[in-house]
Chain A
Amino acid sequence: MLSASFLTFALTLYVILDGFDLGVGILLLLQPAMPSRDHMVDSITPTWDGNETWIIMAGVTVLAAFPVAYAILLPALYLPVIFMLLALGFRGVSFEFRVQTKRHRRKCDIAFAAGSIVAAFMQGLILGGLMQGVRVQNLHFAGSVLDIFRPLPVISGITLVVGYVVLGGGWLKLKSNLSVQQFASRCLRVSTPLFAVLFGIVCIYAVNIQPSIRSEWMSHRIALPCLVGLFAVLAGTLTALAKKSRPTMPFFLGLLLFVVGISGMALIVFPNIVPFSLSLWDAASSSTSQKFVLIGAALVTPVVLVYSGFAYWIFRGRTPENGWGE
């Protein structure tokens, strides 16, 4: 149970932290001016490495605490996971090498953006695939690797891409200079409503095709609609404030948007870890293993948060115009 909470925590942190730097990456495609692009990249440069680490944390927690689920989910999600990993890798490498060259920088940016889009899309695909349900027999995956390429996961993929754009826009508004801020505001005004609409479509579609989800909605008759309502309100506020507010608001509203969305999904999925056939307890490893992870996590996570926070604090405020001088 605690492990599941830690897992959710890790996943949420990943989505929030990598979300905005994936979003910034995607936005690079829309930004024609090189100095602005440099500026956008500079805003995520010092901290992006650490953000990706949370997805490793999430994956490894599943391996350690719920190995049966790990063994089922990974073959089930084989293709999107592989492509996501390759996209993240491609993105990481193009990022590192961008600094080293002026002539090929535009190509690096395109690579970075492409990698970001593919990674985000694959993540959405995975989410959609999970919502759709995974076929399990005798505690082993019994479906086909192509199961994932169906409408619900595909729409989820697009939704997540747009969602990350919202986060990326918020981050840019927070961290960048005036011209990029205006660019970000324009993006936010388009992407936020789009995200909300797509999210709505995904919810409705999911209810229609997966009976388990429908029953979950029935059982959480108050909580889920409240969350949906909250989501809509937040989205509306964000769109309205995009142009004129204080720079911090859009980013935090975006974060809240995602937290609400994740809570909703968690409510629907719980107590299963492989939706909708395997519960947390069936998939769990023994308590000795769980304890080991949790004790380690309890001791170390606060430290990690402190010095990650410290790193963000060192690079606080607006990104300097001329980058980081290196």
Chain B
Amino acid sequence: MRLDPSILARIQFAFTVSFHIIFPTMSIGLAAFLAVVEALWLKTKDPLYLQIYRFWLSIFAMGFGIGVVTGIVLSFEFGLGFARFAEMAGPAIGPMIALEVLTAFFLEAGFLGIMLFGLHRVGPKLHFFASCMVAAGTVISASWILSANSWMQTPAGVAIHDGHLTVVSWRHVVVNPSWPYRLPHMVTAAYLTASFMVAGVGAWYLLRGKHQHFARRTVALGTAFVSVLIAGQVFIGDIVYGTMLKYQPSKMQAAEGFWEKNSQSPAPYYWIIIPDQNNQRNRFALGIPYLGSIWLTHSLDGRVEGLKNTPRDSQPIMGMVFYAFRIMYGLAIVMFAVGVASLWLRLRGRLFSSRWFLWMLVFMTPSGIIATLAGWYVAETGRQPWVIYGILRTVDAMSPVPAQALLSSLIAFVCVYAVFIIVFLTFTFRIIRRGPAEAPPHAEASGSLKNAFRPHVLDSPARVVKRG
């Protein structure tokens, strides 16, 4: 059986990076959420905020840990699977990742210890500072790595001499054309992810009639953040779209499902297609009439550019880009609807009593993760067949590693990562089932935090916890 090393290397990287991105997305969002909650606690002295903090802190810590270890894998995987890419791009993205480690990873790691364990060793203000530093660290980290990935999408600031890159302008490498828009898009996505997670768990408790105070507060907080953030996300998303249309037209052509160089006028907005890349046409297409022209060209009769505008050997695979984009975009629309609904329900005073809405929140709990993953699939599969757009093709970027080695490492990764996700989900669900620990009513943000942070009663088989 002939195995293609380049396909295996790509599958391996796709698997490890997809798995990885789930966790930093949660971590960026939850870190910010925790900092906000701790600030509210310090300001209002309401012990409910402390309860919320403790509850989400443990889930955050687990997710952060998995994010770190899966991230370590990635920093070596460039070289393991894509050595020629690493060799070529190293001078440009290497320093960026180095600075990510220096400015962000160390910051997070250093203060995380204090955040998790320093509660009776440092005062409340220093602890809050630690929480803020961890939140800041996650954003700084996202900033650098997004700069590196954006450079791969819209390279700038380098000169090429027979296969070697030299950096001509660091400013243009770091602040490349797509970075200023992709960064806020990703960070907002992370914040939305955490908001939906928080709201979803709260909604679940409300539906079960448990932990009422905790549930109400977290649903209120989560939906508030969603409604404030989602509009911005749609706005930024549209700007990112416009930017990529300019710098990576092939990606957006693939994303919309049109083949012909100029579509019919007015153009529909496709939701379902069965693309046939070999024959450069859709075997089937279903869409809403007029909406394509309206959304994509902002006019009633505009024509949309199709994938045939890109030479065949530079075309990404339409099916992947199209559906990944639709999933992300579709979820964004649903998120927007949820945000608007939450505002309306607040006005009517029925935010906690509308069961259909609470169920909606529960289903939307993982929506941020799915949307973020889908968005990244748009970004990465849409960039194909390039790994550095316009400069290096993915097939030319491989390592001289035999297919068997790649296959065995892929299998090893899948097995080990499966253990990670099972353990993570098991413990997260256990924490959710157990519910927030009761903080003593007199717990205050002053002096001895020792009383406020008693150790959890861990897994005692004899005890069945029913809280209400």
Contact = CB atoms under 8 A, between A and B. Distances in A.
The answer to whether A and B touch directly, with their CB atoms under 8 angstroms apart, is yes
Given A50-B110, A57-B102, A285-B91, A315 B121 contact: yes
Given A79-B405, A141-B400, A311-B110, A60 B454 contact: no
A141 B459 CA distance: 51
B275 to A, nearest CB: 35
Contacts of B100: 60
Interface string B389-406: 000000000011110010
B86 interface: yes
B427 interface: yes
B102 to A, nearest CB: 4
A103 B118 CA distance: 26
Interface residues of A, number: 70
A285 B91 CA distance: 6
A153 B170 CA distance: 40
A310 B450 CA distance: 21
B117 A60 contact: no
A75 B455 contact: no
Contacts of B461: 103
Interface stretch (A85-93, A168-176, A195-203): A85-93
B87 A60 contact: no
Interface string A29-59: 0000000000000000111011011011101
A116 B224 CA distance: 44
A70 B87 contact: yes
B110 A325 contact: no
Given A97-B62, A325-B450, A285 B105 contact: no
A288 B98 contact: no
Given A63-B90, A292-B95, A326-B117, A89 B83 contact: no
Interface in B158-214: 166-168, 170
A292 B167 contact: yes
A290 to B, nearest CB: 8
A59 B80 contact: no
A325 B69 contact: no
A55 to B, nearest CB: 7
A317 B131 CA distance: 24
B109 interface: yes
Nearest to A307: B110
**Which of A60, A81, A301 has the most chain B CB atoms closer than 10 A to its own CB?**
A60
B62 A86 contact: no
Nearest to A139: B87
Contacts of A240: none
Contacts of B465: none
A92 B61 CA distance: 12
Given A73-B79, A92-B69, A326-B116, A60 B401 contact: no
A326 B119 contact: yes
A297 interface: yes
Contacts of A75: 79-80, 83, 399-401
A325 B80 contact: no
B72 A67 contact: no
Q: Please classify the interface of chain A as helix (H, G, I), strand (E, B), loop, or mixed, using the class held by over half of its residues.
A: helix
A67 B87 contact: yes
Contacts of B326: none
B236 interface: no
Interface stretch (B246-254, B309-317, B363-371, B413-421): B413-421
Contact of A103 (B72, B117, B400, B459): B459
Contact of B412 (A74, A82, A141): A82
Contacts of B91: 64, 67, 285-286, 288-289
Q: How large is the interface on B (under 10, 10 to 19, 20 to 34, 35 or more residues)?
A: 35 or more
B126 to A, nearest CB: 9
Contacts of B459: 100-104
A300 to B, nearest CB: 4
Contact of B113 (A50, A93, A285): A50
A142 B58 CA distance: 47
B94 interface: yes
B79 A49 contact: no
Interface in B305-356: none
A182 to B, nearest CB: 26
B65 interface: yes
A314 B118 contact: yes
Given A97-B423, A289-B91, A324 B117 contact: yes
A92 B73 contact: no
B98 A61 contact: yes
Contact of B83 (A74, A104, A144, A285): A74
B103 A46 contact: no
Contacts of A297: 98, 102
Given A50-B113, A89-B70, A311-B113, A70 B453 contact: no
A68 B87 contact: yes
A283 B43 CA distance: 55
A85 B419 CA distance: 15
The 5 closest A-B pairs by CB, nearest first: A67-B90, A64-B94, A74-B79, A89-B69, A71-B87
21 contacts: A52-B109, A56-B71, A56-B101, A60-B75, A64-B90, A64-B95, A67-B87, A67-B88, A78-B405, A79-B409, A89-B70, A89-B72, A89-B420, A92-B68, A96-B61, A101-B427, A288-B168, A292-B170, A311-B113, A311-B114, A326-B455
Interface of B: 58, 61-62, 65-66, 68-73, 75-76, 78-80, 83-84, 86-95, 97-103, 105-107, 109-114, 116-122, 166-168, 170, 399-402, 405, 409, 412-413, 416, 419-420, 423-424, 427, 430-431, 450, 453-456, 458-461
